[in-house]
Amino acid sequence: MIYDGEKGDIISQYVTFTRIYNEQMKKYGRTRRAVLETIQICRDENI
């Protein structure tokens, strides 16, 4: 299990990306839209 590292480090970014992707996958399934939404959210949140 990977836990959050220090704010802004690569592990923290990976964990945050994964959480966001899992949320989007629940909404849209395993689709291109889920990936694109995840990327957009991460860009907006500077991840």
Secondary structure letter of residue 45 according to DSSP: T
9-44 pLDDT, tens digit per residue, is 888 899 999 999 999 999 999 999 999 999 999 999
- Does 2 have pLDDT greater than 80? no
- Count of alpha carbons within 13 Å of 26, Cβ hemisphere only? 5
Tell me how crowded residue 5 is: count the other CB atoms within 10 A of its CB: 13
pLDDT at residue 25, as a whole number:
98
